[in-house]
Amino acid sequence: MKNPYAYILTLLSSAERRTNVYNNIIPYLEQGRFEIYPAIDARTNELEFFREKHPEVNRISLTDPEDGDLRTRMALIYGFSRILEDVRSKNRNSFIFFEDDAVLLPDFYDNLRKAMQQTPQGWDVLKLHCCRQPLNTGAVMEVAEYPDSFGGSFYGTDALIFSDSGIAKTIKLLYNSELRGIDSLVHDVGIRAGALNGYYVNNTICAHQHGFLKTTGIGKRYGY
């Protein structure tokens, strides 16, 4: 069985993000089973050029977030939409999506397979880490239905795997919903509304940035 294909969405103009991708994501992925997708730089007119080149993204309805950072959210969701279209055009039956601040931990694929074995049939999306709460430092791998078991947040989209059904549903939601960004597409419009069957892993597959690793027992175990 092949490892799921992975897409890494990264801002190539950022040396810090490039460094994280090459040091903390790529070394743990199978060669030939991933690709880097350039993110749109929202600080430039690249966003407008992208909308002209890919007019279909204008069908995506984004509401103005409270923090006012609409251009950044537009850039992220547009980049994610192109990845979804690439997945669909190549008939992939699953894929992993990484943002460029993800940090993978050792034995990534082994732990991913263990998590997939625990994930109930009919799943659409599986979050590969718990964000904004302590990670479980025990040896037991736990897959939980969001949000019941651990009460953690699904926000922080830096590591997600989508099934075949999840791909089709997410593409439909992308063009038929009002969104605040990738987070709200998966979490609010998808899982909380009952449109996506979502789960998350409380274990050691990956973590969110080094700062998060440093505050957890998991990070200390791996020298972060």
What are the residues whose beta carbons fall under 8 Å from the beta carbon of 94, sequence distance 6 or more? 4, 5, 161, 162, 163, 164, 167
Distance, CA of 64 to CA of 209 (rounded, Å): 26
- pLDDT tens digits, one per residue of 171-219: 999 999 888 778 778 888 888 888 999 887 766 576 655 444 444 444 4
Predicted confidence at residue 107, as pLDDT, reads 83
Distance, CA of 179 to CA of 175 (rounded, Å): 10
Residue type, 60: I
Predicted confidence at residue 145, as pLDDT, reads 65
Confidence of residue 124 (pLDDT cuts 50, 70, 90): very high
Please state the pTM of the whole predicted model: 0.84
Choose the weakest-confidence range: 81-85, 120-124, 140-144, 164-168.
Answer: 140-144
Which sequence spans correspond to the domains of the chain? 5-221
Q: How far is CA 22 from CA 35, 80, 191, 214, in A?
A: 12, 20, 31, 20
- pLDDT tens digits, one per residue of 32-79: 999 999 999 888 898 889 889 888 888 888 876 555 578 888 888 999
Architecture of the domain defined by 5-221: Alpha-Beta Complex (3.90)
